[in-house]
Amino acid sequence: MDPLWRPSPNCGPRRGGVLPDMIVLHYTAMVDAEAALARLCDPGAEVSAHYLIARDGRLFQMVEEGARAWHAGAGQWGAVCDVNSRSIGIELDNDGAQPFSQPLMQTLEGLLPGIMARWGIGAPRVIAHSDMAPGRKSDPGRRFDWRRLARQGLSIWPDPDVAPADPTPPDEAMFRVATARIGYGADWPTADVLEALRQRFRPWAHGPLGAEDMALARTLARRFPVDAPPASS
């Protein structure tokens, strides 16, 4: 898959000589791919990403994979605090309120396997921007089809698809232990963690912490505990 090259000045070396070991998915929240490209390549904006996928399926590359793009901002995943230095950022041409187009999804499904193979990135390390910065970011949002990626080994999904209610009554402390094992910050507000988890795995859910959320968190923590290598973060 050959991307269209649109170089962005908004990048630099990865700090501490680290290599990317995760992929962060975003939505652009802009009118179209051209507007997103203009912003991501504007030195005054001080933002970028490695790739942008247009809703018609076109693939653009702005930053070499070995370089540090400025896409993640403040946040954390597991022990990693400088997510930009440890990740590949992919922007998706979508506003978060509309379904993600079929051409866009097909291009993403063609792009991810190569990145994952080149850098040895496993499916649990393909995350949402909202996962690493809940409360601040909500992309790629509740309309993104994570289950579709998981069926191809490109992300994760709980098994069974809909976790049964946990017989244990909702317990915030237990929920936070489980979500910290997944990668969510142990000191983040519980409401932000719950929203991030639901955006990705239970996008239809709202309201207070429930038995289904408990079951989901414990299932994910058991099957996909975060892998945070001891390299510089």
55-111: pLDDT as tens digits? 999 999 999 999 999 999 999 999 999 999 999 999 999 998 999 999 999 999 999
Instruction: Quote the pLDDT of residue 229.
Output: 43
Residue tagged active-site, from 34, 46, 64, 91: 91
Q: Cβ(114)–Cβ(2) under 8 Å?
A: no
pLDDT greater at residue 167 or residue 145: 145
pLDDT of 141 > 70? The answer is yes
- Structurally, at CATH architecture level, domain 4-151 sits in 3-Layer(aba) Sandwich (3.40)
The confidence score (pLDDT) of residue 204 equals 95
The answer to whether residue 184 scores a pLDDT higher than 60 is yes
**CA within 13 Å, CB half, 123:** 17
**Residue type present at position 175:** F
- Where helices occur in 68-143 by DSSP H, the ranges are 102-119, 129-132
Amino acid identity for residue 191 in this structure: A
What is the per-residue pLDDT for 51?
Answer: 98
CA within 13 Å, CB half, 220: 32
Query: Exposed (0-12), middle (13-18) or buried (19+): which is 177, by Cβ within 10 Å?
Result: middle
Tokens of 168: 């244990």
- C-alpha triplet 201, 206, 212: angle, nearest 5°: 55
**What pLDDT is attached to residue 1?**
76
| pLDDT bucket at 125, cuts 50 / 70 / 90 | very high
Mean pLDDT of 212-232: 78
Averaged pLDDT for residues 40-66: 98
Looking at the DSSP bridge assignments, the partners of residue 92 are 27, 53
pLDDT averaged over every residue in the chain = 93
What's the pLDDT score for residue 231? 38
In terms of residues, how long is the chain?
233
Contact 110/118 with Cβ under 8 angstroms?
no
Q: What is the pLDDT of residue 227?
A: 62
- Give the pLDDT score at 160: 62
Q: Which residues contact 51 (CB under 8 A, 6 or more apart)?
A: 3, 59, 60, 61, 62, 88, 89, 90, 91, 111
Binned at pLDDT 50, 70 and 90, residue 174 comes out as: very high
* Residue 172 appears among annotated catalytic residues: no
Q: For residue 161, is pLDDT > 60?
A: no
Peptide bond before 134: cis, by omega within 30 degrees of 0?
A: no
pTM of the model: 0.94
Q: Per-residue pLDDT averaged across 27-43, rounded?
A: 97
d(CA 156, CA 149): 8
